[in-house]
Structures are given as C-alpha cells and as structure tokens.
Amino acid sequence: MPFKAVRADKTEAGQDVRFVQMEESELMDGDVTIRVSDSTVNYKDGLALSGKSAVIRRFPMILGIDLAGVVETSSHSGFAPGDEVILNGFGLSETHFGGYAEKARVKGDWLVKAPQGLSRREAMAIGTAGYTAMLCVMALERHGMTPAAGPVLVTGAAGGVGSTAISLLADKGWKVIASTGRGSEADYLKSLGASEIVDRATLSAPGKPLGKELWAAAVDSVGSTTLANVLAQTRYGGAVSACGLAGGMDLPATVAPFILRSVALLGVDSVQRPMPDRLEAWRRLASDLDRAKLAAITHTIPFDQVFEAGRKILKGEIRGRVVVTIG
C-alpha cells in the first residue's frame, strides 16, 4: 500500500525536495518495519528541507532525523509488533531513509523503546534537540560540574536544545543565564527557569582571548565566535559542552582558556552515540524533564506544514519544539 513521504532527489539543477507517494518495497534494508506516527523539525531538518544544503549524503533520501512509531514487523530479537519505539541519529535523513514518511524500515540495533510514561508525541517534542540537551547536561555532570560551581550559560536559548537545557538545568538547581537574540522571548525563557537574559550580540562579535570570568559552565549550540567568547569568559576549572553550529563551523579562539584557566571543551555528538548513553539519556528525560514545561515549549503541526516549519527554523522564528504528526 502506498505511503506519503518527503523525499529529496538529485537533479541537474541541484536537489528536488517534495512530497511523494512511495511503496514499501522502496524502503531501505533493515530488520524492523515501523508505522511512523510522529516526527519533529530540528535545525538540521530545516537545512535538508531547503534543498540547498549538503547534509544529505545519498539520493534519493527520505528526510527527517527523528521518528517515533509502532513496530509492524520485526526479525530483530529485541523488538516485536506493537512495540512503541524512538529513533534519532545513525544517519537518518543523511544515509538512511528518515522519519518524514508514514513507513520506515531500519536496523533494530538503532532503536530505543519508548520509556515508560513517555508518549511517542512527547518523545518527539523532546526529539534530537532535547536528547542532545540531555547529553550536554550529562557531559557537564561527568566532568564534575555542579550548581555549587556557579552559574551556567545556555546559548541559542530559545531554540530546541536551549529551551530543554534551561529546563533541565534549572530543575537541577543551576542558576541559568540564557543568551538569545530575541528579546521578546525573555518571559518565555524565564518561565523555563532562566534567571538572567543576555543579548547574543554580546557574544557574537569578536572578543578578547580571555574575558571576565562570568559562568562556571555552558551549553553551546551556536559555535563559531559565540563559542570562542563563551570559552573566554568561563571561570577557572569550568567546562563547556558544545553540540551545534548554528553560527558556523569555525572556532576563532585561542588556547588561552584551556592553558590559563583549565577550561574544558566537551564535544557532544548525538548521531553515533553508543546505546548505553542513549538509554541513559532517554531514561533521564522521561524522569527529569518537567512535562508542563515540555508542553509549554511544544506545538504540533500536520505533516503538510513541514516545509513552512523548516523555513521558519532556519530564520530563527521557531520557539522551542515542533512535533509533526505523520501517521
């Protein structure tokens, strides 16, 4: 039976990204077939939906880096028909067909069963962005950072990673400083737990190799000059978990914060994360994330509005998280 999907095809002019009807026989190899119910829109999805980005590594490609759904068939020992599952990373929407389709076939080794008490829609409200935020928090904790060390900065605060990170950190007792270019979002960020709002312009212009020590830790999803300034203003012995490049892939920094203040830069990858970390992150999200706050940062759209949402997220016009109803 045909199913609806957003597919990118390579053309002489570049990329053609549109809704298509596909057959199950066209799905890629895998040992679990899923009826997809929900997905989401991350910054990376916006890039792929634009048809102008190099994030897609093979064609044709079904887009969507996240999916949640119900197992229909499985030859994998860990999953059975009826299981509710979550998938993000592992090349979804890059090298393997993603979540913007009513059907998916994937490797069972990539899947996580939906944690008890967490609905599929809530899992997609969290999505890669929220999951990455939790990995960033875990990285800081593993480095020994605690609220007693001082305040924590969150850049890109109104985005998906930032919004979730603020909620998680504030609920753990951290004083959270939120950096955003959208002053109108101050009340929203404070409702999530931010104690202070700073204009991202204070971090996005080239700065000194070392600045005033303002925060003990940080979660950065911006990269580039912003990350360089974050490092330069981190207190002695502090740590910064970096997970994004919304501001660019470069890092115009010096070694000064590392060798003069013992600042640690903790890289956080969400795509190929080992399964033990994935399971721990999703367990913590199910138990630690305030559901009322999650609902406050989430809105749901039908499948046919995914292109518009992709355009908005690239323009910085999306607050929090977007859930896409697929099935």
Contacts with 11 (C-beta within 8 Å, 6 or more apart), sequence order? none
Residue 68 has pLDDT above 90, yes or no: yes
Three-state DSSP state, 232: helix
Beta strand 103-106 pairing with 152-154:
unpaired
For 26-50, give one letter per residue: b (16+ CB within 10 A) or e. Answer: bbeebbbbbbbbbbbbbbbbbbbbe
Estimate to the nearest angstrom the gap between the alpha carbon of 306 and the chain centroid.
17
The HSE-up count of residue 236 (CA atoms within 13 Å, CB side) is: 2
CA atoms within 13 A on the CB side of 172: 26
Q: Which domains does the chain have, with CATH numbers?
A: 3-114+297-325 (3.90.180.10), 129-267 (3.40.50.720)
Around Cβ 204, how many Cβ atoms within 10 Å?
17
Return the number of other C-beta atoms located less than 10 Å from residue 188's C-beta. Answer: 20
| pLDDT single digits (tens) 129-165 | 999 999 999 999 999 999 999 999 999 999 889 999 9
Per-residue model confidence (pLDDT) at position 183: 85
Res. 327 pLDDT band, cuts 50 70 90 = confident
Q: Please tell me the predicted confidence (pLDDT) of residue 320.
A: 85
Does the structure show a pLDDT above 90 at 1?
A: no
Q: Across the chain, which distance is largest between two alpha carbons, in Å? A: 63
Phi, psi of 45 (to 5 degrees): -65, -40
Instruction: Please tell me whether residue 39 adopts helix, strand or coil conformation.
Output: strand
**What's the whole-number average pLDDT of the chain?**
96
DSSP 8-class letter at 303: G
pTM, two decimal places: 0.92
Give the torsion sign (CA, 60, 66, 70, 71): positive
- How far from 157 is each of 166, 205, 209, 307, CA to CA, in Å? 7, 18, 24, 23
Task: Work out the average pLDDT over 259-273.
Answer: 97
- Report helix, strand or coil for 266: strand
DSSP letter at 9 equals E
Predicted pLDDT of residue 53: 83
Model pLDDT, residue 54: 87
Is pLDDT at 85 greater than 90 in this prediction? yes
Per-residue model confidence as pLDDT tens digits over 178-200: 999 988 899 999 999 999 999 99
Report the pLDDT averaged over residues 284-299. Answer: 93
Question: Residue 45 corresponds to which tokens in the numbers above?
Answer: 């999805």
Please say if the pLDDT value at position 74 is more than 90: yes
Mean pLDDT of 47-64: 94
Residue 43: C-alpha distances to residues 21, 24, 81, 128 (Å): 25, 28, 32, 10
Asked if 314 and 47 count as a contact pair (C-beta separation under 8 A), the reply is yes
Please, which pLDDT band fits residue 226 given cuts at 50, 70 and 90? very high
Is residue 99 scored above 90 in pLDDT? yes
Tell me what the mean pLDDT of segment 229-244 comes to.
98
pLDDT at 75: 98
The answer to whether residue 101 scores a pLDDT higher than 90 is: yes
Residue 297: its pLDDT value, please?
86
